[in-house]
Structure 1
Amino acid sequence: MSDAPGRPMKYPYTFSAKLAQFPMKFYFQNQWIWRYWLAGGVVLSIPIIYKIHKLANSPENVAIWAEKRKKEAQAHH
């Protein structure tokens, strides 16, 4: 059994065939948005993730979480 078909389909009907024939390399090399989308997304989301992390791990929130888990453990035993 061969690894790939002899020629590509004239019109790819399925999503996976369309994805396989999509010229990703061309788009990455010739359009700026594809290259900077990932880097920009990471740079813009790091402050948001940091603030959520800071809120979730505040001492007050950690104490509330510990108290809830203590009550839950007492209820099960």
Structure 2
Amino acid sequence: MADKVEISRPMKFPYTFTAKLTQFPWKYYINNNWVYRYYFIAVAVTFPVFYKIHKLANSPANKAKWAEQKRKEAASHH
């Protein structure tokens, strides 16, 4: 019987950070605040766009072009 955990009533004031997280009304905020409601939709919609930009910016051709541009800039200053 030692492995059975009894659930007691919540603290009147949650002192620890974990107790504050568990007693926070997450469901209320997700259902009644548009920021939480559309956050996951926004991440899903914008992820492919940012992934494409990341792939284009880090392509070998772009890195070579950037290195050449920086080399020319450094040569013109010296």
TM-score, normalising length from structure 1?
Answer: 0.60
Counterparts of 1:17-32 in structure 2, within 5 Å, are 17-32=19-34
| Amino acid corresponding to residue 46 of structure 1 in structure 2 | P
- In structure 1, the partner of 2:67 is none
Residue 48 of structure 2 corresponds to residue 46 of structure 1: yes
CA RMSD after TM alignment: 2.4
Any idea what SS the aligned residue of 1:7 has?
coil
- In structure 2, the partner of 1:56 is 58
Q: Which runs of 5+ in 1 are unaligned?
A: 62-77
State the identity %: 34
Residue 13 of structure 2 corresponds to residue 11 of structure 1: yes
**1:37 aligned residue (36, 39, 42):** 39
| In 1: Cα distance, 2:47 partner to 2:62 partner | 25
How much has 1:55 moved relative to structure 2? 2.5
| In 2: Cα distance, 1:38 partner to 1:44 partner | 10
Contact 2:30 2:36 in 1 (8 A): yes
TM-score, normalising length from structure 2?
Answer: 0.60
Q: Which runs of 5+ in 2 are unaligned?
A: 64-78
How much has 1:42 moved relative to structure 2? 3.7
